[in-house]
Structure 1
Amino acid sequence: MILAMVLSVLVSSVHIPIEKAVTIEKNTLQQKEDWYDIKVEYPIMTSNEYGTYASQMNTMFHNKAKEHMEGSIQHAEVYRYLAQKRDAPLQYQYTYDITYNEKPLVSILYTHYELSSGPKDFSYHYAKTFHMQEGKELKLDDFFVPSSTFRTFLTKYVKSELNKQTDTVYFEQLESRPKFYLDKNDLVLFALPGDYVPPEEHAPHIRIPYEQLRPYLKEQYKSIFLSSMY
């Protein structure tokens, strides 16, 4: 009896070593004039195991950063008069956080902040999640068994969480086309600005523990999300 208890404690405290999928460094494009201030951060990934796909992603990240910079400059030129009127430069910032980086997955949460043509500043998030081994960006459905009722579960879970926050204005978008990212313990759902989320508001991020998703996850993702401790 005592031996069984000791073994149980030992087993429950054993952690599987976490291996990062990639090594990430931050790169920044920045440009300033009297009427605008633009900063675009983007990741540079290196990996011995997933080098080919990491290189492809780096090209994509760099090209997207250039698009953000060029688009922001063009936007600032149109609204240059507002900067002169305010006596302050228009602000454009693109930043990111790596929310999950464990083999073979990488999840990135981007933040776009802007104080430009509108009367107030605003920010919003978007996200990307990649399977480095398979060389592709993942959709929400990719994590779940096709025949499972995970959509029904997600709908009920999101509605319950929003009701707690008395914030049901976001329910329709979170139900029909949720955006997502991964973190260490949770799948996180959120909504983009649009019909249901005014840009000046901050949509809630609904955190769903992986353990609660166990009945619906594909086996490969159970082994990734639920096997970090045993």
Structure 2
Amino acid sequence: MGNKMKYGAAVIAAGVLLGGLGWSGQVVDASASKAKANIAAQKTVKSEVVLKWNGKALNQKGMLDHGAVYVPATAIRDALGIPLKYDTKSRTYTLGNSYNKLSAEVYANNKIYLTVNGYVYNVGGPNVDGYLCYLKEPGGQIVNGRLYIPYKVLNEYMGVQGQWNSSLKSLSMTPKKQNSITIKSAALKKKVLNVEAVVNYPVVSGLENEQAQAEINKVLKKNAEDVIAGAEENLGLEPPSGTKFPSEYEFRGGFVVHYNAQGLLSITTDEYSYSGGAHGMTFRKSYTFSLKDGKQLKLGDFINMQGKNKQKLNNLVLNKVKEDGGYHPGEFKGVPADADFYLKNNAAVLYFQLYEYTSYASGFPQFELNLKEWK
């Protein structure tokens, strides 16, 4: 068995083991024959959902809205035993800590914008406090004064897995089975006159192979150092009038852990900068490691990128870019071997940078590749 098939099989096995609510985050039955009918029916119904944690029914109920399940933040707090705080001044809820800290900021008309450790999750823009909200995912909801979080966020970023029972309208949640490692958030800071660049980055510990652990941490810290150096260079190119830069200048970085199972670790770092102009810029970079030896893996280690499969992938990307109004799709030369991607359960997510093939407003073009279909 080659490495590509080995890594892909590991992720598929973990996904089957963990279960979930479908690729789109919609609630689907396990039976493929029933899935289409169930989704169609659910999109028209907003109803109550029975919630369970480790087999025990919770007192609080969830909510089914447009095919997506929402869970009360207070239920998450009580079931998982993680802190929930609310800042009245900023109207921001904070759930969790360390690298999986979820923030829900309440804006006008009670719209909720979600970030995970500073990483923007849902669409809500065009602009939210300096960040573009690129991903077209459901945000939180305020219902009767209570905050509800999409289950998909809990599943992808908060270490929760779930099994949906469509006939009972119940969601049974349990902790994900993850690698026995520790991930903490560290920070690098650099102040240039009145502007402070701050980058939060992950530090991994608990690996059996200490050399692999050192190599992984070296790569992740080097990325943070490069972000700080880039901020210094950027500020150096624009000398301020007097002794200060404009107060709205900003340089910050964060990260999210997408996948942490089966001896694999997949992380995306998020770098945002604003130094004047119509809008800031965000750059994303992902790292997927084998914890056994510290090797940094590529997209081709998980899917077949040879022959007809490579052409199929190129056509998929090109057609989507054209469909989304890409302004220079003619420059697309194919998906490179070192393409940006990250792992999630059963899938590799290929993405491209802002402006690479589409307009700024289109955000990061993403392509979720089911590992079974692309093996």
* TM-score normalized by the length of structure 2: 0.46
Q: State how 1:107-126 maps to structure 2 within 5 Å.
A: 107-116=266-275, 118-126=277-285
Match of 2:240 among 59, 77, 81: 81
Q: Give, in whole Å, the separation in 2 of the partners of 1:196 and 1:146.
A: 20
Number of the residue aligned with 2:345? 184
Q: Give the superposition deviation at 1:58.
A: 1.4
CA 1:21–1:161 in 2, change beyond 3 Å: closer, same or farther?
farther
Q: Give the superposition deviation at 1:198.
A: 5.5
Q: Secondary structure at the match of 2:226?
A: helix
Q: Give the superposition deviation at 1:97.
A: 0.8
More relative contact order, 1 or 2 (CA 8 Å, 6+ apart): 1
Q: Secondary structure at the match of 2:372?
A: helix
Letter of the 1:73 partner, please give it: E
- Structure 1 runs (4+) deviating above 6 angstroms are 82-86
Q: State how 1:23-172 maps to structure 2 within 5 Å.
A: 23-32=182-191, 34-81=193-240, 87-116=246-275, 118-144=277-303, 149-159=308-318, 161-162=320-321, 165=324, 167=326
Q: Give the superposition deviation at 1:196.
A: 2.9
Higher helix proportion: 1
* 1:212 and 2:369 are equivalent in the alignment: no
Number of residue equivalences = 201
CA 1:64–1:125 in 2, change beyond 3 Å: closer, same or farther?
closer
Q: Secondary structure at the match of 2:279?
A: coil
Q: Give the superposition deviation at 1:127.
A: 1.1
Q: Give, in whole Å, the separation in 2 of the partners of 1:169 and 1:83.
A: 41
Residue deviations 1:149-190 (CA, integer Å, cap 9, x gap) = 431332344355556645585586483334211112321111
**Which ranges of structure 1 fall in alignment gaps of 5 or more residues?**
1-13, 217-230
**Which ranges of structure 2 fall in alignment gaps of 5 or more residues?**
1-15, 19-175
Q: Secondary structure at the match of 1:155?
A: helix
Identity %: 20
Mapped contact 2:209–2:293 kept (Cα < 8 A): no
Q: CA RMSD in A?
A: 3.3
Q: Give the superposition deviation at 1:60.
A: 2.9
Q: Secondary structure at the match of 1:137?
A: coil
Mapped contact 2:264–2:291 kept (Cα < 8 A): yes
* TM-score normalized by the length of structure 1: 0.70
Q: Give the superposition deviation at 1:136.
A: 1.0
CA 1:196–1:109 in 2, change beyond 3 Å: closer, same or farther?
same
Q: Give, in whole Å, the separation in 2 of the partners of 1:117 and 1:87.
A: 8
